[in-house]
Structure 1
Amino acid sequence: MKIKFKLLALLLFCTILPLAVNVFVSYDSINQRLKSELIAQYKSQADRLNQSFELSIRGMDNNMLSIYQTAELYNFVTESQHAGEEAIAKQRRVENLLKILTHSLNDFSNVYLYRDADHRMFKVNAKFLDVRNEQVPETDNPAWIEETKRHDGNLVVVRNASAESDQPLLFVGRSIPDVIEKMQAGVIGIDLGGTYFQNMLGKDFIVENTEIRDADGTVIYSTLKEPPDAKDQLEIVSETNVYGWTVATFLSKATLQEIAWDAVKPTLLWGAAFLLVGIVLWLMLSRQISVPIYGLVKRMREVGKGDFSLAGWKPKRERRDEIGFLELQFRSMVERIEALIKREYELKMSESVAQMRALQSQINPHFLYNTLTSIYSEALEAGADNVCKMVKSLSAMFRYTTDHQNDIVTLSAEVDHIRNYLAIQKYRFEDRLEFRIDIPNHLETAPMLKLSLQPIVENAFVHGISRSGHGKIAIEAHETDGSVVLTVSDSAGTLDEREADQLTRQVRESGSLGTSVGLANVHKRVQYLFPGSDGIAIKAIHGKTSVSISWRTEAAS
């Protein structure tokens, strides 16, 4: 996965997860708190409604007692004779009392007075306020009459079990006892229909989803259109009043969830807005981080394939942060690797050229050895001692230069080779050439680059003694700071200080080795085989030219 997609995944994780947790926790918290508050509110209203029913029925009872306790009503019900003008007058007074009672009531259906002696029922309708009386056969007495008579004058609330939607639902009344005969003489009461409950609910409560139940749990009145489902509804029941009634209301769980969802919806919308802002910031940040890194990775792949040119790679702008530091360091590293590869290539080429030149110089070495041996024998028989010495030195030089087994030899072996070379040159220049070799004993076994001293000595002859016709060559060695320094100086004095410094730079900075084994070749091979070495240095002091070669013996590779 690319870095920018990892950043996007991190952004989504750090945004969506907290948002989801926050929405879930807030939703659950609001739902629970709202549930508790609504349950408490519904319970309070249900209790208040149930108390209102109790107070309402108690008020009806008080109004009913205002005529229930009168002598006219008591005598009218308990007397057995109901004929004559006096009886008619009593009936008129009682009917007026019933009308007075109807004027003091609200939301009732009918007011009843039942006289048990002649099974006569007096009825005042709430709509027409007229008094009707009729004979009721004992076998057809309403159930509430017998129920009321059994309570011996106490207030009774009786549910009409057979009531339909347009009929009274409850009967509230008292029986009228005959204290002399010790029997129930009649019943006075009020029946209540659906209008009563509708008005009570409309005044003080939520009309929907409400049930009024009696002491048996039977529903007296309900506003439910269909039976409640316990899975979708919360049932809230009030305390029981003195009549055993309870009010039950139902709270929809879907309503709770909808309210809770509306409460957390702004949080979700703000979270989505912040997420969009985060994505925009991610796009900007990815351009600032991932694009430069992709470019750096592309360059690394090209370098891995061997392309160290860095052609066309230039950052759009210089960065001063960590990515800019990486780009700068990578570019510097590639440049150094390219330089090292070029140096390695040049050293390998130098070594190949040296070996080729060495091979060219050993044209049939065995033939040369045999020829030199024959010359040596003839010179020895002829008594030509100088010729013998020259042939012997030349033979040793050939043997040394044609041995390609090792590039590193001891200092003493290299010096012996140069000593043979100088001995031959001595026969050429005779008294015009003097040389001195001063090598401390403890340095004779020091490792040294093979054939590194001869080019330096040859330069002394070619550019010094050959031009002046005479001179002195001194070869000295010493050790300093873990390096061996071998110096070849001549007295020809053909260079000044400026020329010596310029020649040193050319030797050290030369990128082309040419076709000869020269000082530049020796310098590069010394640095390659003895890392950290100074190599060749040329100086001109007081008419003397000195060429020194310095190498670190402990760094031999």
Structure 2
Amino acid sequence: MLHSVLTNISLRQKLLFSFVILVLLPLSAISFISYQIFRASLFDNISTSTAEVLRQTGNNIDHYLRQLAELTERPYFDPNALGIMVEARNGRLSPDSDAYLSDFFKRILVPRNDTEGIFLYPMSGSAYFAARNSAHQPDFDPSKTTWYREAVKRKGQIVLTPTHVQEQIGYQPARVFSLTRVINDFSTRQPLGVLTFDFNYTELQKIRDDVALFADGRLGIYTKSGEAVLSGGGDSDEHAAEYLRLPHHKYRLLKDYWMASYTVPYSDWVVLYQVPVHVLNEKLETIKTYIVLIAACGLLLASAFYGWIVVRLTDPLLSLRKMMTRVGAGDFSVQMPQREVRDEIGQITAHFVKVTRRLQETIEATHVLQLKRKQAQLNALRTQINPHFLYNTLESIYMMAIMNEDEETARMIGLLGDFFKKTLRLNADFVTLREEVGNFQVYWELQRVRFARRIEVAVDYPEEYADALIVPLILQPLVENAISHGLKENAGRISILIFPEGRRLCIRVTDSGQELTEAKLLDARNRLNEEKVDEPHAAHIGLRNIHERIRLVCGDEYGLEIDRAPEGGLMAKAVLPIKLKEEHDAPDSGRR
């Protein structure tokens, strides 16, 4: 399915698809995972910081309670007060002792705002006290209270009584917490009485108010049984009671509240912090919004940059595709884009333009070559004499010479007829070397009559190359050129030497005619490479025709070379590929 989709979409769409798969989705997943990790980390950080705050708050409460416990030991540091308490164990105190003990309690009570009352209950059953509310019940029996019995049981150890209403106060009793202990005689270790201090919550509230809380956060102090020492307000006491009934956890979500606690070592009171979950969620939502905005900005920037990269990458490819389409339609006039790209795509485009130009040049050269061939064929047709008509006419003249008993004329006409008969078979691009030499020998037999044997011709070629294929009608025009330009009026010698030279076959024709000057040699070479010769009888036009025919049939690396002969005349050398007849006749053979 995916392969089918990718096959049918463009490169730009593939790149955009890869961006979605490789960048967009991973980045979104990373953002989501980062948010979840941050969310868990935030709760951990909140838990850690809250635990530290609760621990510090608990230590402050612990330190405060220990200070209060030291107050209950004050009688031990005042011998008079301790002596009066010994006196009270044995009965009623004297007015002076009563006044001193009352003053002793007031010195402790008055400076402290958190102390509601100090009560001494000697073992004799009487009561002495100093309280902000002096309405002490005369018939109050402390021995019936839990805190009194617990203090007696502990024999001097401190007893902490959590929140309760002052039982010994008859009018407007306050809600307090109490610290109680038994005061013992140093000498006898016998209990002198039970001393209890009632404290309000002024200092505890100060300790709580110093704690930085979340909005709507609640901090309360509770006993382990869930009884409120200092309420957190609202329905926090119900949540605290339910929280403390559950197995112990430092942190817990309960009824849309996140709760954390710390147990004060001295009192076993529990400092409990409650914060609504929606408050934390609001902070998370704010952070989530920031993460989303940052991720969105990152995605937008990444998308813009990737889109720019895609355009920069695909535009040259689209331009290259347009150029290839134009070339495929036959338009080779492609040019490099104005904005040149130097990367691999730009290099491919530059190479494609170069190859296209070379292809255009090749096509144009091939077209010119075809035009030249057609022009050569037209020229041949213009100058062609009907060989069949000429051959039949020569046969008639030959019969007339025989009838008139003119044997020499008949022989010449017979040779001429034989020459034209051989010429009729020279329509192919190649003939064997043997056929070319044989045809030339017939031609030369005719020329001997003309030149009265003043010109000698020698032909030398290796017999093993007799069946090699060459371009036809090379020897005759080369010899005619030698006679025309070197031996037209003088006697001399023409040498024809045919020899191999590597993978090439060379046909060299030299004459011993008049010495060739440097100017004439340069003129002959220039005319050999002229594009067009207008005069049909221009000098060396035969050599140029040989040169053009060899190049047309065999290729530009072959042709005719002109130089000065050792004898002083002209040397013309035709260079052709060695092509054996069996190679040419093979089905898969081709021109070299």
Q: AA paired with 2:70?
A: N
Using a 3 Å threshold, how does the CA distance of structure 1 residues 512 and 367 change in structure 2: closer, same or farther?
closer
Q: Which residue of 1 aligns with 2:563?
A: 539
Of 439, 452, 456 in structure 2, the residue corresponding to residue 417 of structure 1 is: 439
Measure how far apart 1:543 and its partner are.
Answer: 4.3
AA at the equivalent of 1:406: A
Is 1:549 the equivalent of 2:578? no
Paired residues for 1:292-371 under 5 Å:
302-308=326-332, 313=335, 333-334=355-356, 336-358=358-380, 366-371=388-393
Separation in structure 2 between the aligned mates of residue 545 and residue 490 of structure 1, nearest angstrom: 6
Alpha-carbon distance change, 150 to 390 in structure 1, aligned in 2, over 3 angstroms: farther
- The question of whether the paired residues in 1 share the 8 Å contact of 2:431 and 2:471 is answered with yes
- Show CA shifts across 1:470-490 (max 9, x none): 765432212223321112334
Q: Which residue of 1 aligns with 2:504?
A: 483
Distance 1:375 1:197 in 2: 155
- Quick check: 2:109–2:130 contact (8 Å CA) kept in 1? no
Which position in structure 2 is the counterpart of 1:133?
A: 136
Matched, 1:215 2:224: yes
Give CA deviations for 1:17-61 in whole Å, capped at 9, x if unaligned.
8999799889969985x8877766654443343233223222212
Gaps of 5+ in 2: 1-9, 167-172, 240-250, 580-589
For the aligned residues, what is the CA RMSD?
A: 6.0
> What SS does the aligned partner of 2:435 have?
helix
Match of 2:582 in 1: none
| In the alignment, structure 1 residue 474 sits paired with structure 2 residue 481 | no
Residues 494 and 509 in structure 2, CA contact (< 8 A), matched pair in contact too: yes
CA deviations on 1:38-97 (whole Å, 9 max, x unpaired) are 766654443343233223222212212324984545766896xx8xxx687776555434
The residue type equivalent to 1:523 in the other structure is H
Q: Which residue of structure 1 aligns with residue 430 of structure 2?
A: 408
Alpha-carbon distance in 2 for matches of 1:218, 1:518: 133
Letter in 2 for 1:352: K
Q: Are 2:178 and 2:197, in contact at CA under 8 Å, matched by a contact in 1?
A: yes
Aligned residues of 1:160 and 1:169 also touching (Cα < 8 A): yes
1:100 aligned partner: 107
One-letter code aligned to 2:160: V
8 A Cα contact 1:350 1:521, kept in partner = no
1:219-263: CA deviations, max 9, x gaps?
543658776973998765446503223435579866997999999
The residue that corresponds to 2:160 in the other structure is 157
Segment drifting more, 482-491 vs 375-384: 375-384
Q: Identity of aligned pairs, percent?
A: 22
| C-alpha distance in 1 between matches for 2:204 and 2:473 | 128
CA distance in 1, matches of 2:427, 2:25: 73
In structure 2, the CA distance between the partners of 1:445 and 1:501, relative to structure 1 (3 Å rule), is farther
Q: Quick one: structure 1 residues 100 and 318, their matched pair in 2 at CA, closer, same or farther if it must change by over 3 Å? A: closer
The one-letter code sitting in structure 2 at the alignment partner of 1:190 is D
Q: What amino acid is aligned across from residue 47 of structure 1 in structure 2? A: R
On the 8 A contact 1:433/1:472 being kept in 2, the answer is yes
- 1:16–1:374 Cα change, 3 Å: same
Contact 2:262 2:270 in 1 (8 A): yes
The one-letter code matched in structure 2 to 1:159 is P
Q: How much has 1:508 moved relative to structure 2?
A: 3.4
Q: Residues 248 and 412 of structure 1: is their aligned pair in 2 closer, same or farther, counting only changes over 3 Å?
A: farther
TM-score (norm 2): 0.66
Residue 230 of structure 1, aligned match among 245, 253, 268: 253
- Alignment partner of 2:72: what SS? helix
- What's the CA shift string for 1:529-552, capped at 9, x where partnerless? 434734111223464122211123
**1:65 aligned to which of 27, 50, 73:** 73
Question: Which secondary structure does the structure 1 equivalent of 2:267 belong to?
Answer: coil
- State the distance in 2 between where 1:160 and 1:551 align: 128
- CA change 1:476–1:207 in 2 (3 A) is closer
Do the aligned partners of 1:401 and 1:451 also contact (CA within 8 Å) in 2? no
SS, match of residue 175 in structure 2: coil
Distance 1:374 1:185, change over 3 A: same
Name the aligned partner's letter for residue 578 of structure 2: T
Q: Please, which moves more after superposition, 154-163 or 45-54?
A: 154-163
* Residue type of the alignment partner of 2:74: S
Corresponding letter in the other structure for 1:63: L
Aligned length: 533
Match of 2:58 among 30, 50, 58: 50
Structure 2 residue 442 is matched with structure 1 residue 435? no
Match of 1:498 in 2: 519
CA distance in 1 between partners of 2:58 and 2:115 (Å): 18
Distance in 2, matches of 1:323 and 1:506, equals 47
Decide whether the 8 Å contact of 2:65 with 2:266 is kept in 1. no
Contact in 2 for aligned 1:409/1:447 (Cα 8 Å): yes
1-structure distance, mates of 2:466, 2:547: 21
The one-letter code of the counterpart of 1:100 is R
Say if 2:198 is the partner of 1:196: no
Question: Normalising by structure 1, what TM-score?
Answer: 0.69
Instruction: Give the 3 Å change call, closer, same or farther, for CA 213–22 of structure 1 in structure 2.
Output: same
SS in 2 for 1:160: strand
Q: 1:434·1:472 contact (CA, 8 Å) conserved in 2?
A: yes
Amino acid at match of 1:552: P
- How far 1:446 moved relative to its partner? 2.0
2:188 counterpart of 1:170: no
* 1:49 to 1:470, Cα distance in 2 relative to 1, 3 A: same
1:25–1:321 distance in 2 versus 1, CA, 3 Å: closer
How far off its partner does 1:171 sit? 3.1
Quick one: which of 476, 488, 510 aligns to 2:531? 510
- State the alpha-carbon separation in 1 of the partners of residues 417 and 138 from structure 2: 169
Please say if residues 46 and 238 of structure 1, whose CA atoms lie closer than 8 Å, have aligned partners that are also in contact.
yes
Instruction: Tell me which of the two structures has the higher relative contact order, counting C-alpha pairs closer than 8 angstroms and 6 or more residues apart.
Output: 1
Gaps of 5+ in 1: none
Matches of 1:301 and 1:149 in 2, distance apart? Answer: 110
- How far, CA to CA, are the matches of 1:59 and 1:409 in structure 2? 134
Relative to structure 1, the CA distance from residue 109 to residue 305 in structure 2 (aligned partners, 3 Å threshold; closer, same or farther) is farther
CA distance in 2, matches of 1:263, 1:78: 78
CA distance in 2, matches of 1:108, 1:451: 144
Say if 1:115 and 1:224 are closer, same or farther in 2 by CA, change over 3 A.
Answer: same
C-alpha distance in structure 1 between counterparts of 2:379 and 2:286, whole Å: 99
Per-residue deviation at 1:297? 7.0
Q: Which residue of 1 aligns with 2:271?
A: 247
Map 1:242-281 onto structure 2 (within 5 A). Answer: 242-249=266-273
CA change 1:430–1:46 in 2 (3 A) is same
SS of aligned partner of 2:224: coil
AA partner of residue 368 (structure 2): E
Is this contact kept in 2: 1:359–1:402, CA < 8 A? no
Contact preservation (8 Å) 2:147, 2:159: no
